[in-house]
A and B are shown apart, each in its own frame.
Chain A
Amino acid sequence: MRTLLVALALFLGASLAAGQTLTTAIGANPPTLDPQLTFNGFSFHVSNQVFETLVRVTPEGDVVPGLATDWSYPDPTTLRLELREGVAFHDGAPFDADAVVASLGRILDPATAAPGRFVLSAIQEVRAVDARTVEIVTDPPFAPLLSHLAHPVAAIVPAALADTLARAPVGTGPFTFVRWVDGSEVVLAANADYWGGAPAIDEVVVRIIPEISTQIVELRSGGVDMIFNVPPDNFLTLQADPAITTGAIDGWSSTHLIMNVAHPKLADLRVRQALAHAIDKALITDEMLRGLAKPGVAPIPATVRYAATLEEPYPYDVEGARALLAEAGVADLRLRLDLYQNPDLEAVAQVLQFAFAEIGVDLEIRVQDFSAYTQAVQSDDMELAMTGWGTVTLDADYTLYAFFHSGEIPGNNRSRWADPEIDALLQRGRDEPDDAVRAEVYALVQDAAANALPMVTLYYPRFTFAKRPAVQGESIAFSWILLDLRGATLAD
């Protein structure tokens, strides 16, 4: 009898250890699982478990080794990377310098039509020095290159399998691909041979559940273990549930009110100042978004490298705003605000409408789908626009160059703010490898922007998730896209 019990206990123990499955839910079917053929968060959320990049960014914002263990700059245009030993792709093919050259070569090849090629477009050449060393050449120098190599599109893929990666991904990462039931779920298994040691969790099931309310029911009934991007009201409800653990972390996102400084109605700085003074940012972040956002000043959140800490130059001040409008000789101002379908943005737009009415400005809100919106804000008669933005490389250059360089008008510089001094600073930030100099350059740009008001940075949304308390040891930096399950465990 005792032996039977011992055997039973052993069996149960073994089956528990063997059967650890972590189930997460995401809101849409990934279009593909080949990270080079997409720029889609749902794709990256899954592909990041299977593929790895040469370097990674920690939750603290530091660039640390990934598939590369060390790096140096022999000259300002050449980045030399030492590759990790003892790494293989899931199909057994070796990971070496040739694999890196082929992988980066594939994403840079126009024939691949990679939506994320722009992230790496500064690269001129990738060459293998020896089996464990590669050199990446950019000309002119491109200081943010390392941050860009940490982006999911820069994942190292086996170029020999180029035609099948989309539906059957093969990488070097902690999890191997098992199956993908289209529109339903993607199943991954622990990579027992992972160079960093096999993950504690045996299986990851990523379920595709479009409706957040359904995700919440599944979380509460045990159908899934973890969900992401929970809207503020649902988040508060889940926070009060003792059977659920919630989390909100500072992300890479920011939300902006962009003002077209080239438009006659908004060319006068005093008018833009008046609009900025009319906005109570704390009302938006604390009341409307339930504390799941921080009021913004600098165009990039503090999580981004070289983000400046600025005093609010235009605090909430309705009287001051009215005075500025009177001084500018503006009365009966009517403005149009463009935005795209997004529940948060639409709610904030209504707050702005009310706030501007307080200072006698009539705001017309125009909501369109994203591509129609993009077309509208690139036309010269754009007045105000709202947008959510992510500094996905976590380097200030990504956002500041796009927002404020005159060469980006009207593509991404939708405020049409053009200043040769700013252009020169932004270029210097790209050329200059020295950290301290870059920090200084970007501080100047951010300060100038906060004062000249090509845009009001309304807030930095926090990234939310909810999980069953049994899930522990997972790490999320900045976004659900970068979920790291290497150290995750399931307690029950």
Chain B
Amino acid sequence: MLRYALGRLLGTVPVLFGVTLLVFLMAWVTPGDPVVAMLGEASQGISRQALEDLRRELGLDRPLPVQYVGYVAGLLRGDLGDSIRSRRPVLAEIRDRLPATIELALAALTIAVALGVALGVLAAVRQRTWVDGAAIAVALVGVSIPVFWSGFLLMMVFALELGWLPASGRGTWQHLVLPAFTVGVSSAAFIARITRGAVLEALAQDYVRTAKAKGLAPRRVVLRHALRNALLPIVTVVGLQLGGLLGGAVLTETVFAWPGVGRLLVDAIVARDLPLVQGSVLVVSLLFILVNLAVDLSYAAINPRVRYG
């Protein structure tokens, strides 16, 4: 299993280089100039000569492929380069934002799993009753409502009308509640649908009939036998959700002024801050890969028949 994990980790290296190449190629084919993007409307007051000087002084006059080679050379030494706009090391920029992203992702995931699995199991057990219908409807609404809207709705009710929670920002646990619920509920919807399907499938298996025939309590049959065997697809979808959340829940971060990686990446893209875009995408991809690896490794714990090698 250790060998398997190490092999998978080594395998991520070419994937990550592929990611940087992809980001670089996108930057290459996109028209426009980072100095103008950085200055925005203000660039209009600047003479062409002054813009060219600035480009040269910032090292942005070199052809992009040359810049990319320099970037990769730095990467091999563990140097992600400096942001063009802030001139800080990219690693420092990401380090400042990562805790907020991880905090929100874990809180949202906890809500999503609790809510999603409960709804999914309930719907499966009470299949084709009003409980099932209601659970599916809730899940459908959760998937369909844009977080932009649900986030504002929660903010209006709990911050403005009731005054129970701060509207935005990060600091205390109270600040975490609204964004975590906003993201959590929309992820819960996916988990609920997968859980329902997986539990229904498990409930149709022979061993469940056997368990029922033995006279086990229905609760025990569902939780110990059906849910346990339905875990594989659930864990897979939870892992995908977590990987996605670690990439930054951009819209939720924007609505709630949550200082996470998602907003950092979007700001960097708008400003054409290529080193920062590269670095953020790289770190997010790495996290995604690690979460997926953890999910794969957990299969063995869930189902002893799974072997790595």
Contact = CB atoms under 8 A, between A and B. Distances in A.
Interface of A: 28-29, 31-32, 37-40, 110-111, 113, 115, 117-118, 121, 166-167, 181-185, 207-211, 213-214, 217-218, 220-221, 223, 368-372, 374-376, 387-390, 392, 398-399, 402, 408, 411-412
Given A31-B86, A113-B58, A223-B168, A211 B254 contact: yes
B272 interface: yes
B166 A223 contact: yes
Contact of A371 (B97, B254, B272): B272
Which residue, B156, B167, B260, has most C-beta atoms of chain A within 10 A?
B167
B160 A371 contact: no
B156 A217 contact: yes
Interface stretch (B43-51, B116-124, B233-241, B291-299): B43-51
30 contacts: A31-B271, A32-B86, A37-B87, A110-B53, A115-B35, A115-B54, A118-B46, A182-B93, A183-B97, A183-B260, A183-B264, A184-B259, A211-B254, A214-B152, A214-B256, A217-B152, A218-B168, A220-B160, A369-B37, A370-B32, A370-B37, A370-B40, A371-B31, A371-B32, A371-B33, A374-B36, A374-B43, A388-B41, A398-B45, A412-B46
A412 B45 CA distance: 7
B38 interface: yes
Contacts of A220: 160
B88 interface: yes
Contacts of A207: 169, 257
A371 B32 CA distance: 4
Nearest to B165: A221
Contacts of A411: 46-48, 51
Nearest to A214: B168
Given A118-B45, A184-B259, A217 B170 contact: no
Contacts of B45: 118, 389-390, 392, 398-399, 402, 412
A102 B297 CA distance: 60
A158 to B, nearest CB: 18
A372 B30 contact: yes
Contacts of B270: 369
Contact of B36 (A221, A371, A392): A371
A492 B31 CA distance: 52
Given A167-B88, A388-B41, A183 B36 contact: no
B70 to A, nearest CB: 17
B1 interface: no
Contacts of B103: none
Contact of B44 (A110, A121, A182, A412): A412
Given A32-B87, A375-B33, A110 B168 contact: no
A184 B170 contact: yes
A32 B92 CA distance: 13
A402 B155 CA distance: 45
Nearest to A222: B163
Contacts of B41: 370, 387-390
A310 to B, nearest CB: 22
Contacts of A223: 159, 166-169
Interface size band for B: 35 or more
Question: Main SS of chain B's interface residues?
Answer: helix
Interface string B252-267: 0011110110011001
Which residue, B44, B46, B160, has most C-beta atoms of chain A within 10 A?
B44
Interface of B: 30-48, 50-51, 53-54, 57-58, 83, 85-88, 93, 96-97, 100, 152, 155-156, 159-160, 163, 166-171, 254-257, 259-260, 263-264, 267, 270-272
Contact of B263 (A110, A117, A210, A368): A210
Contact of B257 (A31, A32, A117, A209): A209
Contacts, number: 153
Given A166-B88, A184-B169, A211 B255 contact: yes
Contacts of A115: 35, 38-39, 54
A111 B259 contact: no
Contact of B167 (A111, A214, A388): A214
A181 B38 contact: no
Contacts of A184: 169-171, 257, 259
B259 A213 contact: no
Contacts of A387: 41, 44
B220 to A, nearest CB: 47
Nearest to B168: A214
Contact of B160 (A182, A211, A221): A221
Contacts of A389: 41, 44-45
A392 B42 CA distance: 9
A390 B40 CA distance: 12
Given A31-B86, A211-B257, A375 B31 contact: yes
Contacts of A221: 159-160, 163, 167
Which residue, B39, B45, B96, has most C-beta atoms of chain A within 10 A?
B45
Nearest to A377: B44
A113 B32 contact: no
A390 B170 CA distance: 34
Contacts of B159: 217, 221, 223
Given A113-B57, A117-B54, 19 more contacts: A38-B85, A115-B39, A118-B50, A181-B259, A182-B93, A208-B257, A209-B168, A214-B152, A217-B167, A221-B160, A223-B166, A371-B272, A375-B36, A388-B41, A389-B41, A392-B42, A399-B45, A402-B47, A408-B47
A81 B296 CA distance: 71
Contact of B255 (A32, A214, A399): A214
B87 A28 contact: no
A390 B160 CA distance: 36
A243 to B, nearest CB: 12
B267 A28 contact: yes
A160 B127 CA distance: 73
Contacts of A210: 254, 257, 263
A214 B87 contact: no
B231 to A, nearest CB: 37
A404 B120 CA distance: 67
A182 B83 CA distance: 14
B306 to A, nearest CB: 41
Which residue, B168, B170, B264, B270, has most C-beta atoms of chain A within 10 A?
B168
A68 to B, nearest CB: 24
Contacts of A372: 30-32
Which residue, A28, A29, A32, has most C-beta atoms of chain B within 10 A?
A29
Which residue, A38, A166, A182, A223, has most C-beta atoms of chain B within 10 A?
A182
Which residue, A37, A40, A374, A388, has most C-beta atoms of chain B within 10 A?
A374
A111 B56 CA distance: 10
Nearest to B152: A213
Nearest to A371: B32
Contacts of B51: 411
Contacts of B169: 184-185, 207, 209, 223
Contacts of B257: 184, 207-211, 214
A183 B85 contact: no
A121 B263 contact: no
A223 B31 CA distance: 40
